Amino acid sequence: MDTPLPRRDFLNLCLRTGFGWAALDTARQFPALAVDPIKRSGSARLLLSLAAYSFRDYFLDANHKRDKNIEPAKRIDMFQFIDYCADHGCQGAELTSYYFPSNVNSDYLVKLKRHAFLRGIAISGTAVGNTFTLSPGEKRKAEIASVKNWIDRAELMGAPHIRVFAGGAEGKSKVEARKLCLEALEECCDYAGTKGVMLGLENHGGIVAEADDTLEIIQAVKSPWLGMNLDTGNFNSADPYGDITKCAPYAVNVQFKSEIQKKGQKKEATDFTRVMTILREANYQGYVALEYEAAEDPWLAVPGLLKRMKEHF
């Protein structure tokens, strides 16, 4: 008698071969094949964190173009950002990799870890910018090497999680792009597992523009070190709250946005109560990091948003 192919193996096979991404629709039709969400004992626990990206224009160091010209006296470093998190009642700080000094080394990371500990702040994670859909070659190797480098840095800082991206199609078919992404994720997850660091694949457009796209790749990777970095503001469907509900059981980190946008409509304020209820019903236990992207000055807006989040927690 033939043994049924496990769902993860089936999804992996679909991604790796010319069998076609459309074949994954077959898996959706058979609930018995569904991969179980993350199982957590006990009740939901929501821990407040703040993403450094919220102050992206104000860091002394940045590896991307700033949206504003900020006076040097108003700029901050990672140490001051940790102080800000402590002063505003956060339990964690998400230290986005874009704002570390270009010459960051082990000594710097150890000092940062000590500073966070003395301020009573856990380094809830970091976030990298990467593209896993590049064709084989030096650029692709560099992307994978960069993620592994930040896995090492996360381990040194005691950060349990790294947000990663999938990437865009890069001129390829969706099937080929996802195959390349899957291979890179598997390699990085294998490495992350040796360091005790979780990777969270974010719903960030490109080949993971939809909730199902993100979940299918997560389910296809054979690793306990991969989950979803659930960004509540990145869904652009007719029902973003439905997407959040679908993805919450697979989340290993949550980035909370103060705004959402339904497809074809303008941005609107996020329903705090609704999102927190979804996370509780999914029995989520972990950090919920405010990642502020709205138009108002973050120095004015972030304190109030953190206060509201704490009230809902």
| SS3 per-residue string spanning 131-186 | CCCCCCCHHHHHHHHHHHHHHHHHHHHCCCEEEECCCCCCCCCHHHHHHHHHHHHH
For residue 24, the model assigns a pLDDT of 44
Place of tokens 């992307």: 143
Q: How far apart are the first and last CA of the chain?
A: 51
Q: How far apart are CA 53 and CA 56, in angstroms?
A: 5
Q: Please give the distance of CA 104 from its chain centroid, rounded to a whole number.
A: 22
46-229+284-312: CATH number: 3.20.20.150
Tokens of 250: 């697979």
Paired sense of beta strands 92-96 and 122-127, if any = parallel
At residue 123, what is the residue type?
I
Break the chain into its structural domains and give their ranges. 46-229+284-312
pLDDT, residue 33, reads: 34
Task: Name the pairing type of β-strands 267-269 and 259-261.
Answer: antiparallel
Q: What is the pLDDT of residue 13?
A: 52
Angle separating helix axes 211-220 and 7-16, nearest 10 degrees: 100
- pTM metric for this prediction: 0.88
- pLDDT at 36 (0 to 100): 73
pLDDT at 2: 45
What pLDDT is attached to residue 17?
Answer: 46
Give pLDDT, residue 266: 94
Q: Which of 2, 28, 1 is nearest to 212 (CA)?
A: 28
| Spans of the chain, pLDDT less than 50 | 1-8, 10-11, 15-34
46 phi and psi angles, rounded to 5 deg:
-110, 120
pLDDT of res. 21: 45
